[in-house]
Chain A
Amino acid sequence: MASENAPHFSSKDAVVCRGVGKTWAAGTKRAHEALRDIDLDIKPGEFVVFLGPSGCGKSTLLYLIAGLEDATGGDTWSFGDKVETPSPERSLIFQETSLFPWLTVWQNVSFGLAIRGASQEERRKVAAEALQRVGLIAAMDKRPDELSGGMRQRVAVARALAMRPKVLLMDEPFAALDVQTRARMQDFLLDVWRDSGASVLFVTHHIDEAVALADRVVVFTSRPGRIKTIYPIDLPRPRNLFSREAEAMRIQLTELLRDEVDRAFAEQEAFAVSA
């Protein structure tokens, strides 16, 4: 494994992981290993989907890359800098709405600028730009609870974009949305991704979503999460998801995942018995 060697990678890469591992509650009785030995290189502007069974640690990896959690093994770099703390360059978008309910939409979007002490004028301008990009300029002065789930996630995307991130980290951002809204949001995200030029790391357990979005799909094993394989989706964009190639890819990914899901199930059953 590369982790034993000296780190060897291009400093231009958006994200580089070498031998990254994470054990929760390390050193205690409740310790459990979520991730093991992750080696990963993500190019600038690349769209990478993390696919795996629930609880395989794919979200954990996202948090490690964001700098919100500390790895218990290995190192992560982003554009040549070691990841040690969170940074506005790596924006994280969560599954559930994370908009501050006490702020209006534009105040939410410009929250990062307020932290930096920007003037109200500048904040409003940047918020308007970002909201324009997600097609919600009209909702600028509304409050989050006046918006639908899909709109709220678009505002969350706008808030991330307002920081001009180089890497967008998305933790099952569309999981709480209905199927139709989800499909629209995927198109929307692809537009945003193309405009922004940022790399996107997108966690999901939906194979359809992976095939619709990804340049490459990182398939995880069940716990502890390791990279089982990296599967390229070399379909031209915009993609015809009903094509035979797309269908073949979905089937292959399903096959890849099946063993892992079975194993995860068996483990959970064994755990239930032992507990």
Chain B
Amino acid sequence: MAVVTRDGETGVAAGASRPAAATRILASRLFTSMAGLDWLAKIWWTCLSISLFAGLWELCWAMGWADEKLLPPPHIFLSNLTEQGKFFNTATRWQVGTSMDEGPSAFESVLITGAATTARVFAGLVIASVLAIGIGVLVRYYRFFDRLVLPTITLLSPVSPIAWLPVAIFLFGIGNAPAIFMVVVALFFHMVLATINQIDTVNTNFINVARTMGASKAQIYVRVIIPAILPGMLQVLRMNLFGAWMVVLVAESTGVGYGMGQVIMLARNTFNPSLVFFTIAVIGVLGFTFDWLLRLAQRRILYWLPDTAERLRGL
């Protein structure tokens, strides 16, 4: 690049450096647009993956292998949104004295129902994580707590959430509370055990470094163990997210006013396969989005973790 010796030449020098700067900007633009392309490619592959599955189904229908009354293909169960939407958010629609056509529109109903279920999953997930991490840390922190609590937790851990369903209803009747309770109970025990496991596998060197620096037990837990287990815990959370989605449907099917599970139950009782598949599609999209958001959050919170997805690429 030009070296500026006199004031008069600065303009020239600036002019000379402009092409270089322009190249750099162009390069960086190209890079961001490449990153954008990467994004597009991801969406493209997602769409392709879904289309392939839907296409096979459509093919089965076209060939006459799949009876459309039992296994209606996507173009059928997605075609009549207004009709399907009527079955969502039925609590307001089916009140005495209101007609079927009153209340929110079909699209709004689906949205409201989906949001209600998502909120239950979210609430259950948050409560379960806070409780599980808290208790997991306490178990390792206090020996007596370990002896007092861990056997019971291990004992209850293999119990299927289905078994808790009556308990949920005994305790909370119907409404949001039993559904959230079900999500919590389905995740809590596993997450406690996972937390303990995460704590046990924290790099001993990390703990020893803190000890030689004079850290107290509490300081070691707050400054070393908790940050060290976060990556694993978020992974556990992501795994359990799907579990939460499964359980919430069971809970909702027992009657919570409105929710995806209730719609599925309704579809079952009225023998409406179209509605079943439509609801499954909505649940899939919701779960997918939830997982995607969690992954985004994970990347933000765990900025120090390298991306290891590429490791097996070269095999």
Contacts and interface: CB of A to CB of B under 8 A. Distances in A.
Contacts of A163: 213
Among B212, B215, B306, find the residue whose CB has the most chain A CB atoms closer than 10 A: B212
Contact of A114 (B208, B223, B230): B223
B64 interface: no
A68 interface: yes
A44 interface: no
A116 B304 contact: no
B223 A92 contact: no
Given A94-B205, A115-B223, A102 B212 contact: no
A94 B205 CA distance: 7
Nearest to B208: A68
B212 A111 contact: no
Contacts of A102: 227-228, 230, 304
Interface string B219-238: 10001100110100000000
B214 interface: yes
Nearest to A93: B209
Contact of A86 (B212, B223, B224, B304): B212
B287 to A, nearest CB: 29
A88 B212 contact: yes
A9 interface: no
A86 B227 contact: no
B80 interface: no
B91 to A, nearest CB: 46
B210 interface: yes
A98 interface: yes
A100 interface: yes
Interface in A120-158: 143-145
A170 to B, nearest CB: 12
Interface in B196-218: 203, 205-206, 208-215
Interface residues of B, number: 20
Contact of B206 (A87, A100, A114, A145): A100
B301 to A, nearest CB: 10
Contacts, number: 60
Contacts of A145: 304, 306
Given A100-B206, A101-B304, A102-B304, A92 B212 contact: yes
Contacts of A101: 304-305
Among B203, B208, B305, find the residue whose CB has the most chain A CB atoms closer than 10 A: B208
Contact of B212 (A68, A96, A144): A68
Given A102-B304, A145-B304, A111 B209 contact: yes
A66 B212 contact: yes
B210 A91 contact: no
B252 to A, nearest CB: 38
Nearest to A160: B212
A143 B304 CA distance: 8
A90 interface: yes
A112 interface: yes
B206 A115 contact: no
Contact of A111 (B208, B213, B228, B305): B213
A111 B210 contact: yes
B215 A115 contact: yes
Contacts of B209: 92, 94, 98, 100, 111, 159
A134 to B, nearest CB: 17
5 smallest A-B Cβ distances: which pairs?
A112-B213, A98-B205, A101-B304, A86-B212, A86-B211
5 contacts: A86-B214, A88-B212, A116-B214, A145-B306, A159-B209
Given A88-B213, A102-B304, A111-B210, 7 more contacts: A68-B212, A86-B214, A98-B203, A98-B206, A102-B230, A144-B304, A159-B209
Interface of A: 66-68, 86-88, 90-92, 94, 96, 98, 100-102, 111-112, 114-116, 143-145, 159, 163
